[in-house]
Amino acid sequence: MPMNSLKDVYHDQLQDLYSANKQSLDVVVALGRAAKDKELSEALIAGSNGISDGMEKIAEICNAHGISPTGEHCKGMEGLVAEAKAHALEEDFGDDDVRDAMIITQYQRMVHYALAGYGCLVAFANRLGKDEDGAILQECLDQTYDGDRRMTDIATGGVNKAAA
């Protein structure tokens, strides 16, 4: 489909972010299982729940616009997921605290990709006068920021110190 308008870009990016969320979901669950730190594990479980919630909301928006949420494959998140698996799950670690620090690193890289996606979608929805979409996507963006800040607090509150 050619991109002829901001609406076309908006629809494409809704599908792209749905794909990104779908790809990241399983690895976030795996990161949560691999984490030694209880607070980190719980935060990752909450993160996976947030990803699922975001997918549901994006699917609802797509359906309201008459498009399938599965119309794209996000190659950017594909790479980030591969990196998370390689560096946090498949890598050999002599210390669980060091693995936890790497888990946070890889999770936050994926989250920052999602933040960029949600931020752009909010701007597109608002410019297109899709105020209801914008409000829903802003809620997803805010929740994603909250998860990112929580992960930073976990890292600086003890995980990085234990890993050092």
pLDDT at 2: 84
Nearest residue to 139 (alpha-carbon basis) of 19, 18, 70, 58: 58
How far apart are the C-alpha atoms of 148 and 32, rounded to whole Å?
Answer: 15
- State the 10-residue block means of pLDDT for the chain, 164 residues long: 91 98 97 97 96 98 97 96 98 96 98 98 98 98 97 96 95
**List of domains in the chain:** 6-163 (1.20.1260.10)
pLDDT at 13: 97
Nearest residue to 82 (alpha-carbon basis) of 110, 124, 47, 54: 110
Nearest residue to 84 (alpha-carbon basis) of 28, 17, 160, 37: 28
pLDDT at 1: 62
- pTM for the model: 0.95
Q: What angle do CA 74, 75, 77 make, to 5 degrees?
A: 70
DSSP collapsed to 3 states, the chain: CCCCCHHHHHHHHHHHHHHHHHHHHHHHHHHHHHCCCHHHHHHHHHHHHHHHHHHHHHHHHHHHCCCCCCCCCCHHHHHHHHHHHHHHHCCCCCCHHHHHHHHHHHHHHHHHHHHHHHHHHHHHHHHCCCHHHHHHHHHHHHHHHHHHHHHHHHHHHHHHHHHC
